[in-house]
Chain A
Amino acid sequence: MTPRDVFDPGPSGLPVPDEVLARVARPARYLDGEPGAVHKDHAAVAVRFALAYPDVYEVGMSNLGLRLLYHYLNRREDTVAERVFSPWTDMEAEMRRSGLRLFALESGAPVAAFDFLGISLQYELTYTNVLGLLDLSGLALRAADRRPGDPLVIGGGPCAFNPEPLAPFFDLFLLGEAEEALGELVDAYLAWGRAAGPGPGGRPRSAAERFDLLAALATRVPGVYVPEFYDVTYREDGTVRAVKPRRPGIPDRVVKRVVADLDACPLPPDPVMPFVETVHDRAVVEVMRGCTRGCRFCQAGMIYRPVRERGREEVLETARRILAGTGYEEVSLTSLSTCDWGPVADAVRELITEHGRKGVGLSLSSLRTDTFAVDLASKIQEVRKTGLTFAPEAGTPRLRAVINKGVTGQDLVEAAGAAFGAGWDRLKLYYMVGLPTETDEDLEGIVGQVAEVQEVYESRGEGKMVARRPLALTVSLATFVPKAHTPFQWEPQVTLAEAERRLHLVRRGLSRGGGGSGGRRRRRGGIKVDWHNPAMSRIEAVLARGDRRLADAVEEAWRRGARFDGWTELFRPDLWDAAFQARGLDPAFYANRLRPEDEVFPWDHLSPGVEKAFLSRERERALAAEPTPDCRWAGCPGCGVCEATGAVTRLATGGGCR
């Protein structure tokens, strides 16, 4: 080997010059070559699809949706899908200095050379990064300014249910689950090419053709929302008067897409396995989609309905294949509430028997607060020790009834007791502040409940010999963000000052050692209190229920340097406030205003299937502190999703909607 060969990066070359890779942090973020990555010859396919996540590689690669779509698109012989992530700030600076355009990892091809650029919208605080992706790709920020042959920019994910603050930047949005819809979109694109002139896979050659293509997609593929085809008018008070389609054939209301039977959409057995440690660095098996527990603050619980469970065999077989193919040391059963998945206890036992002796651990996402969940967790920790997290969300029975979180104080005490009995000495508790109707009494309730959990720990194994290790308790606090398509979509977020006061109140209460200890002072382990920055929750709240006019503020904030707003160390509230001011927009109008019952919302023409009338009824029940039971076990509360989408509750045990 000659010295020259030694320094050669290899036959495929790298999209980023070596001296740049040598300067940036974690250069492997910008390279592929991971097992499972798909490489296809671009000249041999008709459609090139870039799948982008507006955050760094480690975060984006933890998103199951992106990984599923990567698999589904690449299964088509006529299509290639490649991954794109936001460059970290050091890499962005390098790219701007050297004029390097944003590229897809697999081929290194520039994003602008793709037919589609799909961007995953999971969280409002990634919106400035969305603009970064477009700009670094050399694309015009606004859809209206793009060239005819530029990629069609598509948004999807939970934020697509109110994408209005991003509306001018996207050519179209796809509502709901995209496994089937994206395939239809590709087919419609090819059909349009055949019919309209440029040939299958050909790009539009003029602005008129691009417009024609968008119209074809919007009329032929259910779930496609082209914001440009809708006129928004406003009232004098600044609220929306109406959102109306501008052309015939365009639906008044776009209803989300749903996969009726998950077993018909099998999980990829050979996922890409990153080298860089990702946020969720393990094999992931989605066991269920949707959750009908009906927590009234939870957007996911509303927009992902109905509940569809995967079969036990399908889950076990998928886990087996992923583990054999990747060598992961942990497999996670994920869903919005994995303990509710019918076969969970049996499947956990099977997985431990089959994989435990090879040292493969198991984890369950979103553990319920009850002894059933703790029993499952105890079985799991025989193989690999796991942390334990409960989310009571609110501190008093009254407020938990308001939010429909069916957890009693007794549940928490029993679950904690079972956990401590099984040997756990660390525990994490999640709460929110600023929930509708919340008073200081509810906040003191959090302090009291935490003290009660500590009491349970101290009195455990009374009369027996128990190690005196202090309990390591973490209390995590977040400021409530009201979201579109939830029963609390009419409710104001508390002001930033009030959120800070409430967080402080809880924190002070916890540092005093709790209110419910009846004067008994004992040596206690410290409580670690984490809280999510309320200034971030405020911007999230502005954008979550924003309208199209906010796009100016998003662009302004990005131009002023806002990047990675979801990263505490990079979040700059001053840039956002300057942006609102410069564009004459009032953040309080969006975040802190109590909306009248009959207000037209900017997202009313976009439907997750759950009806506004149902949400309104749920809100009334919330204010009366009346719980609504889960439709899996009680009667149908009439949310409307089954009627609107044609899908129904589908349980692994064969049961379903009555």
Chain B
Amino acid sequence: MSGAAPAEGGERTRYRLRVCFSKTGRLRYISHLDFIRAFERAVRRSGLPVAYTEGFSPAPRIAYGWPLPVGTAGLAEYLDIELMERVDPGEAVVRLGRALPRGLEVRDARYVSPRGPALMVEFDTASYLVRVPSGLRGPEEWRGAVERLLARPTLEVTREKEPAGSPGKGRRARVVDLRPLVRRLRVRGAEDGWVTLFMELALSEKGTARPEEVAGLLREAVGEGPAEPGSVTAVRLGLRREAPPRG
């Protein structure tokens, strides 16, 4: 829906602007909370007629989608801004673009129905490019490993959670099955000791898979040991809906 879409939010008419943006370069190292603060401040600087929450600490009415993990760049992420008056989407892109720091780029904006589903519901699948050290194996061996992996009924990984603030203390391990979360997986290319994977992973409130985890399972399947920590890099290419709309 690209036309103006007034909401019946009490007495006020409001507009829900869906912004598509990228988070790349050094900005991929800021956390989701850091990003939210930076974005809200940019919105204040932009002078857009944004609506504010009521209560003791008013904040701009912005709904965020699935958080990007620290270190993962995103090329087409989404958020919704609630505006008090309609601004031309092209102008909103320009004004936001001027206010945002380098590394956060607005790619597109359009109005969506204020009564439409939330971003977390709108999108249930994320696609990634993942760069993994290929070790001694060639692309064919990696392709074979992908096939074997996808043929398995379960893909179990162990997650260790460290309580914040006390590293090393009270680690709790938990086994998670990633198989239902891996929608697609294939080898996209290989060069100079790296293999590039394309994967589509499910996003669900019940759990998400990290691309690094899938890459780790694949390294195991291809006969390489675990990757050096920090050597696997993922970029989120985009978000989409796989399941048919509910209702």
Q: Residues on A close to B: CB < 8 A?
A: 1, 3, 6-7, 9-10, 14, 18-23, 26-28, 31-35, 273, 275-277, 281, 324-329, 358-359, 361, 381, 383-385, 569
Contacts and interface: CB of A to CB of B under 8 A. Distances in A.
A313 B189 CA distance: 62
A326 B41 contact: yes
Nearest to B73: A6
Contacts of B40: 327, 329
Contact of B71 (A3, A27, A358, A385): A27
B235 A273 contact: no
Contact of B26 (A6, A33, A384, A385): A33
B2 interface: no
24 contacts: A3-B188, A3-B196, A6-B235, A10-B24, A10-B26, A20-B230, A21-B29, A22-B230, A28-B34, A33-B102, A273-B41, A275-B101, A276-B30, A324-B45, A326-B45, A327-B99, A328-B41, A328-B44, A329-B40, A358-B44, A359-B60, A383-B58, A384-B56, A569-B166
B41 A23 contact: no
A325 B103 CA distance: 18
Contacts of A324: 45
Contacts of B29: 21, 27-28, 31
B38 interface: yes
A40 to B, nearest CB: 17
Contacts of B233: 7, 18, 22
Contacts of B231: 19, 22
Nearest to B102: A33
B56, B60, B231, most chain A CB atoms within 10 A: B56
Interface in B1-41: 24-27, 29-31, 33-35, 37-38, 40-41
Contacts of B31: 26, 28, 276
Contacts of A10: 24-26, 103
A21 B131 contact: no
B189 to A, nearest CB: 6
B59 A359 contact: yes
Interface in B162-212: 165-166, 188-189, 196
B101 A35 contact: yes
Contacts of B25: 9-10, 33
Interface size on B, as a range, is 35 or more
A3 B102 CA distance: 21
A361 B57 contact: yes
B70 A27 contact: yes
A273 B44 CA distance: 14
Contacts of A32: 26
Given A27-B29, A28-B26, A275-B38, 11 more contacts: A6-B129, A10-B24, A14-B26, A23-B230, A32-B26, A326-B45, A327-B99, A329-B40, A329-B44, A359-B59, A569-B165
A385 B54 CA distance: 12
B60 to A, nearest CB: 8
Contacts of B37: 275, 277, 281
B71 A21 contact: yes
Contact of A327 (B26, B43, B57, B230): B43
B63 interface: no
B140 interface: no
A19 B133 CA distance: 12
Interface in B68-124: 70-71, 73, 75, 99, 101-103
Nearest to A89: B167
Contacts of A35: 101
A276 B101 contact: no
A325 B41 CA distance: 9
Contacts of B52: 358-359
A569 B169 CA distance: 13
B42 interface: yes
Contacts of B58: 359, 383-384
Interface in B202-229: 228-229
Given A10-B25, A277-B33, A3 B59 contact: no
A3 to B, nearest CB: 5
Nearest to B101: A35
A21 B34 CA distance: 16
B129 to A, nearest CB: 6
Nearest to B44: A327
Contacts of A9: 25-26
A393 B82 CA distance: 47
Given A6-B73, A33-B103, A22 B229 contact: yes
Contacts of A22: 71, 229-231, 233
Given A23-B230, A361-B57, A325 B26 contact: no
B36 to A, nearest CB: 10
A1, A327, A329, A358, most chain B CB atoms within 10 A: A327
A383 B24 CA distance: 35
Contacts of A33: 25-27, 101-103
B12 to A, nearest CB: 15
B34 A276 contact: yes
Contacts of A359: 52, 57-60
Nearest to A361: B57
B25 to A, nearest CB: 4
Nearest to B56: A385
Question: Lowest 6 CB-CB distances: which A-B pairs, in order?
Answer: A327-B41, A359-B58, A22-B230, A327-B44, A19-B230, A10-B25
A327 B44 CA distance: 5
Contacts of A19: 228-231
B131 to A, nearest CB: 5
A35 B102 CA distance: 9
A325 B45 contact: yes
A76 to B, nearest CB: 25
A419 to B, nearest CB: 16
Contact of A385 (B27, B44, B57): B57
A7 B191 CA distance: 14
A355 to B, nearest CB: 11
